[in-house]
Amino acid sequence: MKSNYYLVGRSIVLGLAVVTGVRAGNYLPPPASDFLVLSNANGTVRVLDSRGLVLETNLTYLPRIPLADLSPAELQTLLESKTAYASLTTFASGLGTNAQCPVIEQQLQKIWQQGSSLAEKMQTRLEILKDMRDYNDEAGLLPGSMVAANQYAANEIPLNSRLTNRAATAVAAAERLEATQLDRAGGPAARVANQQAQENYQELAARANRANYQDMIAQGQIAGANQEVADHQAKCVALAARLARHGIMVSAAPPFYPVLQLKLQSEVNAERKGN
């Protein structure tokens, strides 16, 4: 009986070893180092974006190096750095997913596989990810600008009403002033009435001017907020068109929905394994 338990237990262990071995063979851990040695420079990778590579050495940032200036071997070495790997495989970390995510992931994988060189693959991937991040930024700023525009418009209604009332009051005061001036020949009483009418008109005119100034400020705030809304929308439309040229479809008209978290490691890991 004991030997039977032993055989069963050993079979389970061997089975787990086989499964674990298969998974371990398919799993490629992400790079852990950021130190990079190139033919003409070396240092720690600090930035990799669509404009190129930035290294730091001896507490100094070296001039940006375009990807096109790197040899295939140097690009492969770059791919094995922590920052470069994260830049090419991470998008919208911490956000959820939806049905759109697998579609975009498949398209990005296809674009990567169709690249004629590693430089082209990396450059295109970085440009697309930047456009998607910019799209998310503009879409995220849009609701706040719309709220501000609506709030300014709501606040301007009573301001405009007060301006209209005060302007009408000032006009009436001007008419009374004109009437008293025509009646100045009536003696001291007429002169007192004229002075009072002048003071009253000046005060009401000043109030109307202040109301007009406040209304002008409110109109400027409304125009500024509406312009922000228009700018965010225009940028979303332009970025959506840029992404569409790569076959990546995002909302190109309001409402604009952000691109959520994407999984992009498989194609990059395949590139690492292949070399």
Distance of alpha carbon 273 from alpha carbon 204, whole angstroms:
82
Compute φ and ψ for 202, nearest 5 degrees.
Answer: -60, -40
φ/ψ region of 176 (left if φ > 0, alpha if ψ in -120 to 50, else beta) reads alpha
Q: Are residues 39 and 71 in the same domain?
A: yes
- Which domain covers residue 215, as residue numbers? 149-227
* Residue 257 belongs to a domain: no
- Radius of gyration (C-alpha) of the chain in whole angstroms: 35
- Give 36's strand partners: 43
Distance between CA atoms of 3 and 94, rounded to whole angstroms? 51
> pLDDT by residue (tens digit) across 173-207?
555 655 555 555 555 655 666 666 666 666 666 66
Residues 44 and 16 in one domain: no
Q: Give domain status of residue 100, yes or no.
A: no
Two tokens, residue 108: 């990005």
Residue at 263 is within a domain: no
- 74 vs 173: which has the higher pLDDT: 74
5 and 74 share a domain? no
**232 pLDDT higher than 80:** yes
pLDDT of residue 113: 95
Q: Note whether 15 and 41 are same-domain residues.
A: no
* Residue 170 sits in the same domain as residue 219: yes
CA-based nearest residue to 176, from 153, 191, 193, 188: 193
Number of domains in the chain: 3
- Tokens 């790197």 sit on residue: 70
At 149-181, the pLDDT tens digits run 778 766 655 645 554 655 556 565 555 655 555
Domain boundary among 204, 227, 250: 227
30: tokens are: 């992400």
The answer to whether residue 169 is domain-embedded is: yes
Q: Is residue 200 in some structural domain?
A: yes
Q: How far is residue 112's CA from residue 116's CA, in Å, rounded to a whole number?
A: 9
Answer yes or no: do 1 and 61 share one domain.
no
Q: What was the pLDDT predicted at 146?
A: 85
105-138 pLDDT per residue, tens? 999 999 999 999 999 999 999 999 999 999 999 9
Which of the pair, 215 or 128, is modelled with greater confidence? 128
Same domain for 202 and 169: yes
Whether 248 is in a domain gets the answer no
Structure tokens at 1: 């009986």
Within this chain, do residues 55 and 21 fall inside the same structural domain, yes or no? no
CB atoms under 10 Å from CB of 36, counted, come to 20
| Shared-domain flag, residues 12 and 70 | no
